[in-house]
Structure 1
Amino acid sequence: MNLIIQSEARPDGILVITVNSPAKYNALSIQALHELEEQLDEARQNQAIRALLLTGAGEKAFVAGADIGEFKEMPSSESRAFAEAGQRVLEKLEAMPIPVVAAVNGFALGGGCELALACHLRVASINAQFGLPEVKLGIIPGYGGTQRLTQLVGRGKALELILTGNPIGAEEAQRIGLVNHVVPLAELLPFSLQLLGQMVARAPRALASALAAVAAQGKPDGYQVEAAAFEACCQTEDFREGVAAFLEKRPPVFTGR
């Protein structure tokens, strides 16, 4: 069986994960979800991995959606388990304690849009398109799209996109807050890697704490999570190194301790 999810660990600590099924516009099949989950589990256990870049193979699609052929063969009795399996993988992606950037190089539709939404940041090529067209098939997003899109762009805009099923371009996606940056296709990977490189240069435990604190936004204990994370960071060697480097006017050398 050929692997759909391919990965490359770079010397700078960035793991590049590519959905590689261009003949199917990098459709997010069940096999692809299983392989992605395995990659995420391995990356979480590998302290040498400091950040993750997720992209699609080719120049047409990031991930154009789920594999519709699998939908056709799926009994309705298995539909909830199907959605929950996809949600589990995307929840793991969102909960990664390292920065995760989606480099969206074309179509990000349906499950592909939901995959991008689960990443911490999104950089899009100028030709990218985003959409949740599930209502055109008589269903709704099932991998967390109704929740994450609403969190990012607000209830009104999310409802418009979900209820019409119409896609939007990269610049409109940036305007409404779905995308952080829009760049030419040729600059997509270099820009995304440079952005992650800035984060890799920061203190690892501070990054993980910041991600956890932001994830607690809107929860009853959100402020307590932030305060506890702040306290934990203040007890690290990296905090002492950061302060010393600032006072000595030199770049800090963080160790993750």
Structure 2
Amino acid sequence: MDLPPSLRATRSGKIALLTLDRVAKRNALNDETMLGMERFFTHLPADVACVVIAAEGEHFCSGLDLSEMSGRDTLDGVRHSRMWHRVFEQVEFGPVPVVSALKGAVVGGGLELAAATHLRVAERSTFYALPEGMRGIFVGGGASVRVPRLIGVARMADLMLTGRRYDAEEGAAIGLSHYLVDDGTGVKVALDLAARIAENAAQTNFAIIQALPRIAEANPREGYFMEAMMAAIAQGTDDAKDRMQAFLDGRAEKVTDR
């Protein structure tokens, strides 16, 4: 896969690991990195079942590389924001679930990237901020849509108006991460979760990342209908029938085994 030096991709079985590697810039996202991320997600091998996004150095991502903003006019700014939307759409609504391993700065565009992933594992060094108000700009990578879904509009407004910073424990408490782990263990935990996700039926994983958020946003009448359709599609597959039979025969793993 043709990736820029700021990204590194490796693979172990059904799990692909994409690592941000722009340590000198605290893994700030420039255009080259964003377009490389898009290529990664649009060219995933069909047998990859889950992706983990991690980072080199002390920080996950310090956000947009502000050095690239100086020459843009208003129309260029709109186009640039829409490019970020397109890339993060590939993360959130791509072919497989995505787990992010967070540490250090998860700031601005870094929080936008994290919010587009399906599970977030935060090391205790993690901190979150949206400093756009301090910089005279506004979020442009989808934060105004995705972050309020996690923490609410009022908390996001507080982050942007005051420059407030949440530490890892506060972030976990309000919904910015799903798992809080010791420093240095985030990637391992994320890979372990990815391995568990990869064991699921492909049709169920697809339904969870594609149908579930759309159902949640629909009005109840439409949501119930979409749920019924998705349930019927999933349970009608040969894979689902085999898995249910294994459970009935006592051959399947139980929830209490995990």
Q: TM-score range by the shorter chain?
A: over 0.9
Looking at structure 2, the residues matched to 180 and 117 of structure 1 have their Cα atoms a distance apart, in angstroms, of 11
2:211 maps to 1:198: no
- What's the CA shift for 1:72? 2.0
1:178-214 C-alpha deviation (Å, 9 max, x unpaired): 1101111221111111111111111111111122222
Match of 2:12 in 1: 10
- Listed as ranges, the gaps of 5+ residues in structure 2 are 254-258
2:97 maps to 1:95: no
Looking at structure 2, the residues matched to 162 and 230 of structure 1 have their Cα atoms a distance apart, in angstroms, of 40
- Listed as ranges, the gaps of 5+ residues in structure 1 are 253-257
Q: Is the 8 A contact 2:211 2:230 kept in 1?
A: yes
Match of 2:60 in 1: 62
4+ residue segments displaced more than 3 Å: none
- What's the CA shift for 1:74? 2.4
1:179 aligns to what SS in structure 2?
coil
Looking at structure 1, the residues matched to 74 and 153 of structure 2 have their Cα atoms a distance apart, in angstroms, of 29
Q: Is the 8 A contact 2:61 2:107 kept in 1?
A: yes
Looking at structure 1, the residues matched to 96 and 23 of structure 2 have their Cα atoms a distance apart, in angstroms, of 27
1:127 aligns to what SS in structure 2?
coil
Output the TM-score relative to the length of structure 2. Answer: 0.92
**What percentage of aligned pairs have identical amino acids?**
28
Looking at structure 2, the residues matched to 2 and 176 of structure 1 have their Cα atoms a distance apart, in angstroms, of 35
1:90-115 C-alpha deviation (Å, 9 max, x unpaired): 11111023111110122111111100
Match of 1:255 in 2: none
Q: Is the 8 A contact 1:27 1:66 kept in 2?
A: yes
Looking at structure 2, the residues matched to 118 and 64 of structure 1 have their Cα atoms a distance apart, in angstroms, of 16
Q: Is the 8 A contact 2:4 2:32 kept in 1?
A: no
Q: Is the 8 A contact 1:146 1:162 kept in 2?
A: no
2:110 aligns to what SS in structure 1?
helix
CA RMSD of aligned residues (A): 1.5
Q: Is the 8 A contact 1:64 1:109 kept in 2?
A: yes
Looking at structure 2, the residues matched to 51 and 131 of structure 1 have their Cα atoms a distance apart, in angstroms, of 27
Match of 2:49 in 1: 50
Which letter maps to 1:5? Answer: L
- What's the CA shift for 1:2? 4.9
Match of 1:85 in 2: 83
Output the TM-score relative to the length of structure 1. Answer: 0.92
1:61 aligns to what SS in structure 2?
coil
Looking at structure 1, the residues matched to 4 and 50 of structure 2 have their Cα atoms a distance apart, in angstroms, of 25
